[in-house]
Amino acid sequence: MHAPVRPVSRLSWSTLAALGLLLSACGGGAGNDGGATAGATPASTVLALNSVELAQTHVVPPAGRSFTTADGKTHSLNLIANRAALLMVEPARAGGTLTVEAVLAGASLGSMSLNPPAQLPATDNGMPPYSTSKHSVLLPKEWLQSGVALKISRGGASSLSALSVVGGLQLRLHTQPLFFFGANRTLASAQSFDMDAALVADYAQQIPVAGLAAATLADLSFNDVVLAPNGSQPAQAVSSYAEARAARNNDGFTLMAQMLGLMSEMRSVTANNDRHLNVAYWAPMSLRDPVSGKIIAMGGGLSGVGSGVGDGDAGNYGGIFVHEMGHAYSMGHAGEMYTAGTYPYAGGSLAGSAWGYDAIRKQLLSPLMPALPCNASGRQLDAAGHCYRQDPMQGGGGDYPKNAGYRWSMFADYSSAYMQAWMNERIVYDPAAGAPASPFTKWSAGDGKYIDAGTAVSQLQRDMQGARQVVTAVGNVALGDASLNRLSATAPGLGNLPPSFDPSSQADWDRIKASYPNYCSDAGCDYTLRATFADGSTQNVLLPKGYHLRGSNTVNPDSTNALNAASFLRYAVNFSAAKRLLRLDLYRTEFGAKPAYSALPAASFGMAIASWNAG
């Protein structure tokens, strides 16, 4: 049996009331909400309030909401900096107009009048109102800062509520369209691969971020896909979804898993080099069926929990997208988490979750479904027989009627708290930050602000050039079967340019030794990729990929076993798009994981083991 959720208030109302008691003069004002005897100088009195709440993704007290799950762990959902919030206040005595003033370090940020209860935002789907006695107003994002307190007043009486605010992440979401077996945008015209402004705004409401910037990367297309060895089967090329399933015991997730491996390489030190940064990836997959010639669906998606990457059926950014990205932001399946004692609400539902809020539609969101009777199979019910929604991480993607104006069902408050913790661990990268500002910052709870995180990232990240136009080369090597080596390139698109090194240049080896001594230490630097451009120039890039034991020049014995993952590797490399790319060649250049830091003449690279030519 699971322990109930215990909301924890960090500041008692008596403490907050005491903070708001301003004794400006003697006499008058005996607890009458601001009334004063004629001719006397009134004293400020405490405004009695039944509740103060704020809503961003969900309705929470000013100090946030904490949850203790059955496993004894605690998570908190706090207000997010730099995101507008709906303030709702219920005074102990009705009547009159309430005002709110934001105060930071003794200075006023401004004041606003609250709307009367009749103007409280409506509930989604025409459901009963959240309250008939709460005054409300949407606070500007500039008021949501660490250290801010809200002074709520009526007449001469006031009460002060301190806000608990955490970092407001500016998340960058990159869409990487993937096309297979002859699929292209024309065949997949029913799908959208770009997040327009409306979609960006909607998704920013769905998740605990202060802002969202979306970008679509250059398409990647595959006539076939080489499946990595899995311990019992060697690498194998497949040219249809049916072949991929058959090759891996009828596993419908086979292609998705392979592409997660590729997307990991897109984040590697030779490509975008953005692991742990404020970047997430969605890779919508479009597959052509060779029999019908039409686009077919795989029926789902896949993500590594906490990886920041998800893939699956394109689906126009629908339920698969929002579910897989929930995994990418660290959530598991809510029902399984409940069983394990790591999710507080029965069956992965919203039974017990706070209400949500959508600032675009100006609606409060009930955790209940509107229809009666509801399909109660596997669902939690309230006393009137209404079904509670399921979290999108437990099959709740379709819990809004199609005509309700929402793309997705809301997450539980606990899920938002869980994802908020992941967001606050991201290092924010701003390549446009001018000196002396650091391009890398991270939220510090102790400081209540984003602080310099330059020492928390690698030297390769500190030295990369961000937000450039790049061409990305992607490929794989199968050590035991050169016929399975593949190499291709994208059209120009957005990306980062990390430092690269030419193994034929002694100066570059000296740079590696001095500034990047661990570049080859993982499995060796055993391959070099050469790019040839339209002007006749070339660029050699030493790959930190190989088949050696870590930190050694001894060959990994597993690399000779065709069934072992060590015999197969994928890679991705970004080149500047300033010059038109004509050709790519991959060479085997065995420097090992403990190189001698000595240049190898380019003429000694030998024969290319994989090549690509621009069409």
Q: pLDDT tens, 39-63? A: 444 456 999 999 999 999 999 999 9
User: What per-residue confidence (pLDDT) applies to 400?
Assistant: 65
What mean pLDDT do residues 563-573 have? 99
Distance CA 247, CA 250 (A): 7
What mean pLDDT do residues 589-594 have? 98
Bridge partner residues of 67 (DSSP): 75
Residue 246: is its pLDDT beyond 80?
yes
What mean pLDDT do residues 489-513 have? 98
Query: Do 5 and 137 have their domain in common?
Result: yes
Query: Do 101 and 18 have their domain in common?
Result: yes
Strand positions, DSSP E, 417-508: 428-429, 440-444, 449-452, 465-478, 486-489, 493-497
User: What per-residue confidence (pLDDT) applies to 564?
Assistant: 98
Query: Do 160 and 16 have their domain in common?
Result: yes
Q: Which letter does DSSP use for residue 116 in this model?
A: P
Distance CA 70, CA 201 (A): 35
User: What per-residue confidence (pLDDT) applies to 423?
Assistant: 98
User: What per-residue confidence (pLDDT) applies to 395?
Assistant: 84
User: What per-residue confidence (pLDDT) applies to 412?
Assistant: 98
Bridge partner residues of 122 (DSSP): 363
Query: Do 406 and 488 have their domain in common?
Result: no
Q: Is residue 257 part of a domain?
A: no
Q: Is residue 228 part of a domain?
A: no
* Domain boundary, last residue among 392, 411, 430: 411
* Domain boundary, last residue among 396, 411, 426: 411
Q: Is residue 495 part of a domain?
A: yes
- Half-sphere CA count of 374, side-chain side, radius 13 A: 21
Query: Do 371 and 491 have their domain in common?
Result: no
What mean pLDDT do residues 206-212 have? 99
Residue 3: is its pLDDT beyond 90?
no
What mean pLDDT do residues 185-208 have? 97
Q: Which two tokens stand for residue 120?
A: 């409280």
Catalytic residue flag (residue 324): yes
Q: What confidence category does residue 403 fall into, taking pLDDT thresholds of 50, 70 and 90?
A: low
Query: Do 392 and 531 have their domain in common?
Result: no
Buried/exposed 33-68: b ≥16 CB within 10 Å, e otherwise: bbebeeeeebbbbbbebeebbbbbbbbbbbbbbbbb
Q: Is residue 390 part of a domain?
A: yes
Task: Please state the pTM of the whole predicted model.
Answer: 0.91
| CB distance 171 to 280 below 8 Å | yes
The alpha carbon of 612 is separated from its chain's Cα centroid by a whole number of angstroms, namely: 34
Q: How many domains does the chain have?
A: 2
Q: What percent of the chain has pLDDT over 70?
A: 92
Q: Is residue 89 part of a domain?
A: yes
Distance CA 372, CA 17 (A): 43
Distance CA 402, CA 319 (A): 12
| CB distance 598 to 510 below 8 Å | no
Lowest mean pLDDT among 28-42, 130-144, 167-181, 575-589: 28-42
Residue 90: is its pLDDT beyond 80?
yes
* CA distance readout (Å), 596 to 215, 591, 601, 607: 41, 8, 14, 23
Q: Is residue 450 part of a domain?
A: no
Q: Is residue 534 part of a domain?
A: yes
Q: Is residue 513 part of a domain?
A: yes
Query: Do 376 and 519 have their domain in common?
Result: no
| CB distance 92 to 49 below 8 Å | yes
Q: What is the largest CA-CA distance in the chain?
A: 100
Lowest mean pLDDT among 370-384, 401-415, 459-473: 370-384
Query: Do 19 and 132 have their domain in common?
Result: yes
* Domain boundary, last residue among 381, 411, 441: 411
Query: Do 474 and 539 have their domain in common?
Result: yes
| CB-count burial class (<10 Å; 0-12, 13-18, 19+) for 74 | exposed
Q: What percent of the chain has pLDDT over 90?
A: 88
Distance CA 177, CA 281 (A): 10
Query: Do 396 and 505 have their domain in common?
Result: no
Residue 26: is its pLDDT beyond 60?
no
Residue 30: is its pLDDT beyond 80?
no
Distance CA 13, CA 61 (A): 11
The one catalytic residue among 243, 324, 336, 590: 324
Lowest mean pLDDT among 219-223, 275-279, 405-409: 405-409
Residue 13: is its pLDDT beyond 60?
no
Residue 253, phi then psi, degrees to nearest 5 = -95, 5
Structural domain harbouring 152: 1-165+346-411
Supply the mean pLDDT for the chain.
92
Query: Do 542 and 407 have their domain in common?
Result: no
Query: Do 591 and 472 have their domain in common?
Result: yes
What mean pLDDT do residues 461-479 have? 98
**Between 124 and 35, where is the model more confident?**
124
What mean pLDDT do residues 411-420 have? 98
pLDDT digits (tens, 9 = 90+) for 330-345: 999 999 999 999 999 9
User: What per-residue confidence (pLDDT) applies to 23?
Assistant: 26
